[in-house]
Amino acid sequence: MKFRVFLGSIVLLWSAASAADMYVDRSIVIFEAGGQPRQDVKVSNTGDDVMYVQVEVLAVDHPGTEKETRTKVSDPKALKLLATPDKLIIPPGGQKLVRIVNLQASNDAERVYRINVTPIVAPLEEESSQLRIVVAYQILTIVQPDKPESNLVVSRTGQQVTFQNTGNTNVLLSEGKQCRPDDATQCEDLASRRLYAGNTWTLDLPFDAPISYSVRSFDGIKKEVFP
């Protein structure tokens, strides 16, 4: 399956053709504790023209909070994650690999990155009035701590639930569902959320009734019901 993660559509005055010619085969890369320090992502060009692509690594601080920042690491001495090559030339119908390398083997805390994979567009003619939407991709990259611990604390007050991740690695809540207390056949889907270490998320619910979620952490996926 191929995933498309929009960085936000970048609107440019250019030709409308081949706006969706680039695909990446992975949207999330996770370096598990004790695992291999490198992983590959395949970038494909399904169009009829040569494609030029730029790859950029952003370090994420305070992920999942209002203080979240994403900063390009320009100092090689501070580089802990590498994506190489940083520029690709992909022929029509061709594919190239981007190798992601974890340069820091030991980690007390989880590290989070966003890797931008962006087509490089040609200069525009001054009199051009055509429109092009350039679609970029972003790969979420997570480096787990050496000793990952998962601990999700859940509290309920009527039609409101609060999730708090007190562990040291991220937890993904997905496939949430809640059914009417008086009719279990009438259910509504609930929002999904990735909670990084230290994150708190409060969700308003449609009913005062139990909820269920698929909870994914470093030790697998399990279906949980929260009363």
- What separation in angstroms does the CA of 45 have from each of 25, 134, 160, 171, 218? 12, 14, 45, 33, 33
The DSSP line for 25-84 is S-SEEEE-TTS-SEEEEEEEE-SSS-EEEEEEEEEEESTTSTT-EEEE---GGG--EEEE
CA–CA dist 172, 150 (Å, integer):
11
- Dihedral (Cα; 46, 49, 55, 60), 10-degree rounding: -50
What are the extents of the domains in the chain? Answer: 10-143, 152-226
Q: Which pLDDT score is estimated for 18?
A: 40
Q: What is the pLDDT confidence band of residue 136, given thresholds at 50, 70 and 90?
A: confident
pLDDT score, position 11: 39
What value does the CA radius of gyration of the chain take, rounded to a whole number of Å?
A: 21
Domains 10-143 and 152-226 share a fold: yes
Task: Name which CATH class applies to 152-226.
Answer: mainly beta
Higher pLDDT, 123 or 156: 156
Residue 105: what pLDDT? 87
pLDDT in tens, 179-192: 999 999 999 999 99
CATH 2.60.40.10 is right for the domain spanning 10-143: yes
What pLDDT does residue 130 have? 60
Give dist(CA 6, CA 25) in Å, integer. 14
pLDDT in tens, 14-41: 333 344 689 999 999 999 998 999 999 9
Separation of first and last alpha carbons in the chain: 35
What per-residue confidence (pLDDT) applies to 128? 55
pTM of the predicted model as reported, rounded to 2 decimal places: 0.85
63-67, 134-138, 157-161: segment of lowest average pLDDT: 134-138
Is the confidence at residue 49, as pLDDT, over 70?
yes
Give the residue-averaged pLDDT of 146-157: 95
Q: What is the arithmetic mean of pLDDT over 206-223?
A: 96
